[in-house]
Chains A and B, each alone.
Chain A
């Protein structure tokens, strides 16, 4: 069964460093998403991506964040200068169509980012 994969499973970095979190969505999916979950808090939407551009983003997704689909399979989230408060579990998701009222998103296992 096709699934979304994410690498690495755990990333440790120093404050101020750049990190890139990688995701491989399901191959025939067209919409891609990033979410994060700070320990003990809710899963929060960050950004959605379609047709090589951002469709929607939350207030969390500021200038420190960027997303890219560098080739036909990978979808990346870059944090330019990490802060302590960026420590969280980051989930990638993909869907065949625009997720929302009727369409299912398929989630990856997550990357745990720890900023020291």
Chain B
């Protein structure tokens, strides 16, 4: 069984300050983890993914995430927020448990960026 918890429903930052969006997961197998972003009236876009290679994963638009097995976490970070980063962010886990690849989505974190 797999699950994912996004610890914050909303995160508010000022432009130019660091971003931290938290995600914890539960998996019975070796998971793959993803972060997706959704801008208003747009589809979900893949930011980055962890697939059992390097634990520090770099994605698009300056985002990165670190897989920490001991903490069962996959937090998303960015050193300096831009106004264009304001969007909904989803953490997703998929572990092929039982031969099923069905991914599990977190509830989403809304990132608000103030000028």
Contact A101 to B102, CB < 8 A, known contacts A42-B107, A91-B43: no
Q: Which residues of B contact A110 (CB under 8 A)?
A: 43
B12 sits at the interface (CB 8 A)? no
Partner of B43, one of A100, A101, A102, A107: A107
A41 with B43, Cβ < 8 A, contacts A101-B51, A101-B96 known: no
| Secondary structure dominating the interface of B | loop
**Residues of A with C-beta under 8 A to B32:** 100-102
Assess whether A18 is interfacial by the CB under 8 Å rule. Answer: no
The answer to whether A3 has its CB under 8 Å from any CB of chain B is yes
Distance to closest chain B CB from A107 (angstroms) = 4
Chain A interface SS verdict (over half):
loop
Residue interface mask B31-67, A partner, CB < 8 A = 1: 0100010000111111001010000000000000000
B interface residues, tally (CB under 8 Å): 23
Taking CB atoms, residues of chain A closer than 8 Å to B95 are: 101
- Is B101 a contact of A99 with CB atoms below 8 Å? yes
A45 on the B face (CB < 8 A): yes
Which of B49, B100, B108 is A104 in contact with, Cβ under 8 Å? B49
User: Interface 1/0s, chain A 29-73, versus B by CB < 8 A?
Assistant: 000000100000111110000000000101000000000000000
Q: Do A41 and B107 have beta carbons less than 8 Å apart?
A: yes
Contacts of A109 in B (CB 8 A): 41-43
CB pair A45–B42 under 8 Å, yes or no, is: no
The distance in angstroms between the C-alpha atoms of A100 and B101, with both chains bound, is: 5
Question: Is A115 among interface residues, defined by CB-CB distance under 8 A?
Answer: no
CB distance from B9 to the nearest CB of A (A): 9
Chain B residues, CB < 8 A from A102: 32, 49, 51
B66-112 interface with A by 8 A CB criterion: 90, 94-96, 100-108
Query: Complex formed: what's the CA distance from A99 to B41 in Å?
Result: 24
Closest chain A residue, CB of each to CB of B106: A42
A interface residues (Cβ-Cβ under 8 A, vs B): 3-4, 9, 35, 41-45, 56, 58, 91, 93, 98-102, 104-110
- Given contacts A100-B94, A109-B41, list 8 more A-B pairs with CB under 8 A: A3-B43, A4-B43, A42-B108, A43-B90, A91-B44, A104-B49, A107-B45, A108-B43
